[in-house]
Structure 1
Amino acid sequence: MIVGLARDTVELEPHDSAWHDAYEREAQRLHELVGDRVLDFQHVGSTAVDGLPAKPVIDVLAVVDDDSTADDLAVVLAAHGYEHRPNDDVPDRVFLAKGPRSERTHYLSLVTRDSDCHREQIAFRDALRSSPDRREEYADLKRELAAEHADDRRAYTAAKSASIERMLALVDSD
């Protein structure tokens, strides 16, 4: 199993079923650190979708009661291998990264239940899991953009956003 990627780079790996186990281990570790302050953990992002190529970084979504809990947990988690990334472009999450900058292994998003980030992450993951056509369309886009933006993760992510928004709109209309 390959987990880890240098910051700001884009390198896709074929789906690895061991990514689910890596998520489970990290969610258990996080639960032991923060207890009931997190209401729910979810495996999100491309590593959570069977058959989808992905950057080998495990995305964890952690649901909390309120923004102050998220802020408090960011401090706790910083002492346990996570770097708080306060300049994140997503307004309704506290974002952290685990692993050295040369090899990020996990991303952690602390969100409140029913925030836009929470709703969209779950809806997009579930849409890809339930539709082979959507999954293949997204996989093709990811491969194309990864080749085009191998050293510019920000451009890669921005280029995917229109497709993600379109798929979310389709999900909302289903």
Structure 2
Amino acid sequence: MLYNQDTITEFRDASLNKYPENKKFFERLKTKKVKNLDELFHPRHEEIFEEVDCLACANCCKTTSPIFTDIDIERIAKHLRMRPAQLIDKYLHLDKDQDYVLNSSPCTFLGADNYCSIYEVRPRACREYPHTDRKNISGIMKLTLENTKVCPAVFEIVEQLKNLKIV
């Protein structure tokens, strides 16, 4: 399904309704110690992202903040022609885990057309999102579960995996 402003509410409702079921699925994956998670996730990631248009959705940019590393902050500040401290003061704060995150949502750098004004220098977390093609995905299962509430592609990948009845 293509997600855009008209269908994102439908996705949010479905993802919240299915969250308890998804949480149990992830617990079973962990309990059963399914070893080939990369082999299960990666092909579905490729397939889903052939259909999903992130620019039509941008739900991640509208609802969550990436973590900004020191390297990200330096790179973005240089791009914006400001000092890293100015970037932090203007756009970021430390969260409960002592990570730099955006002061507000939607992302300050997201345009009305869903394009990112700092795309070429965006944070590593944005470049790698939603992480479903990452090696050793078993190490980020908690994050992947949370991303089922944010990213329609992750939600679809997990729905496909549940239908395989691997656990």
TM-score normalised by the shorter chain: which range applies? under 0.3
Greater RCO between the two (CA within 8 Å, min separation 6)? Answer: 2
Larger Rg: 2
TM-score of the pair, normalised by structure 2: 0.27
Higher normalized helix content (fraction of residues): 2
TM-score of the pair, normalised by structure 1: 0.26
Higher normalized strand content (fraction of residues): 1
